Amino acid sequence: MDEQGCPRCKTTKYRNPSLKLMVNVCGHTLCENCVEMLFVRGSSNCVQCDTPLRKSNFRVQLFEDPTVDKEVEIRKKVLKIYNKRDFDFPSLREYNDYLEQVEDIVYNLTNNVDVENTKLRMEQYQRENRDVIQRNKAKLTREQEELEELLLQEQQSNEQRRLEVLQEEQRQLQAKRKNKQALLDELVRCTRCMAVCMCNDKSSDAISELHYDRCSMSDRQTVSLQPVTKIEDVLYHYRPLQVETYGPPVPELEQLGRLGYLNHVRAAVTQDTAGGYTSGLACYRAIQDAFSGLFPLRG
């Protein structure tokens, strides 16, 4: 796109990003400024091919290749005249032949092949088929009808989806509000069961709001209005811990001194013993650590 430019003043899109290229029926490009300058009087000849042109026929160039612009222009004109549909023909074959004929005309006009004859042909056709042309003007081809239908469907489904989403949101909102209200009602009825409610519905915002309200009311004093909940469960039985050390048995704490283990650790100073520390404790732990994991795993 950048290397496109006006053939007359040689400005390119790169140098002037706001450059507007125009194209006329002959398919040659000119930039907007040049058009303004050359066509002050409304009509003039094309710089490149000397075709007489009118200023009002200049269009903004849509495509990179100006011949495509020209072709589309011509095609639209031709299709206005050649607007027969497939149901105007007895067989598909003939319709296809007709399509090809149209294509031929467009091709000739675009590439300046035998222009005079082609134009004559078109005019003749127009005269012959006037009523058909008139009749078909408003009609769409079957394919286009299908397309329109599809588009309509799409629109409808989009609309419906939007509505559904909206409804869903509303429903959720309502449900939420209802829940909140129900909870508040319940709380009003009996404040005692509040703790239970709290447990039931922790995630509810209502509760947390309420909770905070209460907190601010009581000025952040730690006065709890909740009754002390009684926990009823099976009584706890202590079972001594069984530790599998995968090692030889460790001597008891009391026996350490007797067995001479304590000779190898630093004796506790008076300051240490003040807190209840004895050198036996450290020694006991060290031995446990050393003995564990010495045997391979069983089972």
Partner 1 sequence: MKLNIEGLLVYFPYDYIYPEQYSYMLELKRTLDAKGHGVLEMPSGTGKTISLLSLIVAYQRAFPLEVTKLIYCSRTVPEIEKVVEELRKLMEFYTKETGESNNFLALALSSRKNLCIHPEVSSLRFGKEVDGKCHSLTASYVRAQHHSNPNLPVCRFYEEFDSVGRQVPLPAGIYNLDDLKAFGRRKGWCPYYLARYSILHANIVVYSYHYLLDPKIADLVSKELAKKSVVVFDEAHNIDNVCIDSMSVNITRRTLDRCQTNVDTLQNTIHKIKETDAAKLREEYRRLVEGLKEANVARETDIYLANPVLPDEILQEAVPGSIRTAEHFVGFMRRFLEYLKSRLRVQHVVQESAPQFLKDIFEKVCIDRKPLRFCAERLQSLLRTLEIADIADFSAVTLISNFATLVSTYSQGFTIIIEPFEDRTPTIANPVLHFSCMDPSIAIKPVFQRFQSVVITSGTLSPLDIYPRILDFRPVTMASFTMTLARTCLCPLIVGRGNDQVALSSKFETREDFAVIRNYGNLLLEMSAIVPDGIVAFFTSYVYMENIVASWYEQGILENIQRNKLIFIETQDAAETSMALEKYQEACENGRGAILLSVARGKVSEGIDFVHHYGRAVIMFGVPYVYTQSRILKARLEYLRDQFQIRENDFLTFDAMRHAAQCVGRAIRGKTDYGLMIFADKRYARADKRGKLPRWIQEHINDGSLNLTVDEAVQLSKHFLRQMAQPFRQEDQLGLSLLTLEQLESEDMLQKITQIAHQT
Interface ranges with partner 1 (CB under 8 A): 1, 62-65, 68, 71-72, 75-76, 79, 92-93, 95-104, 107, 110, 141, 143-144, 146-148, 150-151, 154, 157, 161, 293, 296-297
Alpha helices (runs of H) in 82-141, residue ranges in sequence order: 92-110, 115-128, 130-136
Query: Closer to partner 1 at the Cβ: 24 or 110?
Result: 110
Least distance (Å) from partner 1 to the CB of residue 99? Answer: 3
Least distance (Å) from partner 1 to the CB of residue 102? Answer: 7
Least distance (Å) from partner 1 to the CB of residue 98? Answer: 7
Query: Closer to partner 1 at the Cβ: 68 or 265?
Result: 68
Query: Closer to partner 1 at the Cβ: 120 or 150?
Result: 150
175, 179, 180, 182 alpha-carbon torsion, rounded to 10°: 130
| Sign of the dihedral defined by the CA atoms of residues 46, 50, 51, 52, in that order | positive
Phi, psi of 23 (to 5 degrees): -140, 145
HEC states along 226-252? Answer: CCCCCCCCCCCCCCCCCCCCCCCCCCC
Phi, psi of 44 (to 5 degrees): -165, -175
Query: Closer to partner 1 at the Cβ: 110 or 279?
Result: 110
Least distance (Å) from partner 1 to the CB of residue 241? Answer: 17
- 254: closest CA among 278, 224, 234, 230? 278
Least distance (Å) from partner 1 to the CB of residue 73? Answer: 10
Query: Closer to partner 1 at the Cβ: 44 or 108?
Result: 108
